[in-house]
């Protein structure tokens, strides 16, 4: 089985860059591509709240904008300022973005550095609407 601990550690490090002066909820993500490259992201909030972007989408959009199209796994770490939650699940919008670019067996590594669990995209977003539905 793949060792996801280093990916989790990178998500934790990315979390340090979180810009979250409104919610004080800091999230970091580390996205592993099929070619083995890693793109990190953090949440970036805005005074106009709807302009906020989650850590996961920051990582995905960085990667996609660099030409990446094939992804293996994403590690996600979050929690209120000063603490790390035992588990930070991605929001529905981020799951939908994952469904655009990832297969059903794409892995989500959720937890923190001391304990994490591996889920698949199909587990966290069953019955998803994808490009297949438009064809
Ligand atoms: N957030 C993420 O970055 N990822 C998630 O999966 C859940 C929520 C951010 C958005 C916002 O900046 C803060 O956490 C509180 O919702």
Q: Which residues contact 23 (CB under 8 A, 6 or more apart)?
A: 45
Characterise 131 by phi-psi region: left (phi > 0), alpha (psi -120 to 50), beta (else): alpha
Residue 47 lies in a domain: yes
Residue 107 lies in a domain: yes
Ligand 1 midpoint to CA 62 (Å): 17
User: Full-prediction pTM beyond 0.85?
Assistant: yes
pLDDT attached to residue 113? 84
pLDDT attached to residue 34? 98
Which segments within the chain are labelled E, that is strand? 25-33, 38-42, 71-80, 107-111, 116-120
Residue 135 lies in a domain: no
Percent of the chain with pLDDT over 90: 97
The pLDDT-based confidence of 42 (bands split at 50, 70, 90) is very high
Q: Is the pLDDT of residue 4 over 80?
A: yes
Residue 69 lies in a domain: yes
The pLDDT-based confidence of 28 (bands split at 50, 70, 90) is very high
Q: Is the pLDDT of residue 64 over 90?
A: yes
Domain residues for the domain of 112 are: 5-128
CA pair distance 52, 43, nearest whole angstrom:
7
Cα distances (Å, whole numbers) of residue 55 to 14, 79, 129, 131, 133? 9, 12, 22, 24, 27
The protein residue with its alpha carbon nearest to ligand 1, atom 9, reads 54
Q: Is the pLDDT of residue 118 over 90?
A: yes
Number of domain units in the chain: 1
Q: Is the pLDDT of residue 100 over 60?
A: yes
**Site residues for ligand 1, CB cut-off 6 Å:** 20, 23, 25, 27, 43, 45, 52, 54-56, 90-91, 94
Residue 18 lies in a domain: yes
Residue 14 lies in a domain: yes
68: domain CATH number?
Answer: 3.40.140.10
Residue listed under structure tokens 């919008």: 93
The pLDDT-based confidence of 1 (bands split at 50, 70, 90) is low
Residue 70 lies in a domain: yes
Which residues belong to the active site?
56
């Amino acid at each position: 089985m793949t060792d996801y601990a280093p990916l989790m550690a990178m998500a934790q490090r990315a979390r340090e860059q979180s810009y979250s002066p409104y919610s004080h909820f800091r999230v970091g993500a580390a996205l592993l591509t099929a070619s083995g490259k890693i793109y990190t992201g953090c949440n970036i909030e805005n005074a106009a709240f709807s302009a906020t972007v989650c850590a996961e989408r920051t990582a995905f959009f960085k990667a996609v904008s660099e030409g990446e199209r094939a992804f293996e796994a994403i590690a996600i770490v979050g929690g209120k300022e000063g603490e790390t939650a035992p588990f930070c699940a991605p929001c529905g919008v981020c799951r939908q973005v994952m469904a655009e670019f990832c297969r059903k067996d794409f892995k989500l590594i959720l937890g923190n550095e001391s304990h994490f669990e591996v889920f698949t995209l199909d587990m966290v977003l069953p019955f998803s609407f994808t490009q297949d539905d438009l064809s």
